[in-house]
Chain A
C-alpha cells in the first residue's frame, strides 16, 4: 500500500522547504536575484494549486516540481529571453553568472539525436567545471539529474514526480551521465596535458 503524505500549512512549508526551493530556482535560473523572484512565485502557486496535491510523494518533491515549472516559465517568458540574450552578449566578453556558471545556448533544445550531444559539447567551455557541464545539459536531462543527485530519489519516484515513465527516466539519466562523463574525461585529459606541459 502506497504511503500517503499530507501537506502542512503554507507558512510551515515556507519555513521547512525554503532552502530546497531556492536551490532549485538557482539551479534552473543561475541568478540569485531571479531565483528569489521565482521563489516567491513558487509559494504563490502552491497556495493556488494546494488542492491538486495528490499525497503520493513527500511535499518537498512536490514543491521542487512546482519550482522547476515556475523556473521554466521564467525562462520561456519574453523578458527572460531578452535578459538571456543580453547575458549571452556579456558572456562573449568573458562574464559569468552568480554561481560562476556560463550558461550555454542551445542547451534547452530537444533531447533526442546525436546533434544535441554535439551541440552540447560545442557550447561547453573545455576549461569549465563539471557544474558548467551540468548546467548546460538539455532541460529534460537537468530535471532527472536534479532529482537523482540532489533529491536522491530512485527512478520510480522521479517518474512519478515528473509524470514520465520509468524507462524514460532511466534512459535520460543514462544519456546525461554519458555526456557528463565524456566532458569530465576530456577535462581530465586536458588537465593532464597541461600538467605535463608545465613540467
Chain B
C-alpha cells in the first residue's frame, strides 16, 4: 500500500512538473542578465563600488526639472519683493498726502484765530490779551468726562434710531 502511494506521488510530480519547460526566450534573457551581472562583478575598476545603472537622459531631465523649479522660486520671490515695494510706496505716498492736506487746514485756521485774538488783545490792553491767551483752546486730547446714565441712554437712543431699518416705500 505504502509503495503504491509512493509511486502515485512520483507520478503526480512527473505529471505536473514534467510538463514545465524553460523556453529559449527565457534562457536567452537569463543568459543576457547573467552576462551583465558578471561584467559588473568582474570589472576591476568597479571593485568596492556600488554600481547603479542610471540613464543619462534621466539625469539631464532631473537637472532641467531642478533648474525650472529654482527659477520658478526666484520668480515668486521677485514678484513678492516688487509687490511689497509698490505697496510700501503707495502707503508712504498716501501718508504724505494725508499730512499735506489735513494738518495744513487745521493749522492755518487755528493760527488765523489765535493771531486775530492776539491782535485784538494787543490792541485793547495787555490784560485783555492775557485773558484772550488764557481762553485759547488747549492743545492735546480733551479730558473725557464720565458719562452719566441719562446721556448714555440718549446716545443709545440715537444709535438705535440709526440702527433701525427704514420703512420700505
Task: Tell me the A residues contacting B by CB distance below 8 Å.
Answer: 10-11, 14-15, 18-19, 21-23, 26-27, 36, 39-40, 43-44, 47-48, 99, 130-131, 134, 145-146, 149-150, 152, 177, 180-181, 184
Whether the pair A44, B37 counts as a contact (CB closer than 8 A) is yes
Whether the pair A23, B10 counts as a contact (CB closer than 8 A) is no
Does residue B16 face the partner (Cβ distance < 8 Å to A)? yes
> Which among B6, B16, B26, B41 is the interface contact of A18 at CB below 8 angstroms?
B26
Most chain A CB atoms below 10 A, which of B5, B16, B34: B16
**15 CB-based A-B contacts, threshold 8 Å:** A10-B38, A18-B26, A19-B22, A22-B20, A26-B17, A26-B20, A39-B22, A39-B26, A39-B30, A40-B33, A47-B38, A134-B12, A145-B9, A146-B13, A184-B8
For A180, what are the chain B residues with a Cβ–Cβ distance below 8 Å? 5, 9
Whether the pair A14, B34 counts as a contact (CB closer than 8 A) is yes
When chains A and B are docked, how far (Å) is the Cα of A89 from the Cα of B25?
32
Does residue B29 face the partner (Cβ distance < 8 Å to A)? yes
Whether the pair A44, B33 counts as a contact (CB closer than 8 A) is yes
Q: Which residue of A lies closest to B32 (CB)?
A: A40
The number of chain B residues touching the other chain, given as a range, is 20 to 34
Q: Looking at the assembled complex, report how far the CB atom of A197 sits from the nearest CB atom of chain B, in whole angstroms.
A: 25
Task: Tell me the B1-59 residues at the A interface (CB within 8 Å).
Answer: 2, 5-6, 8-10, 12-13, 16-18, 20-22, 26-27, 29-31, 33-34, 37-38, 41
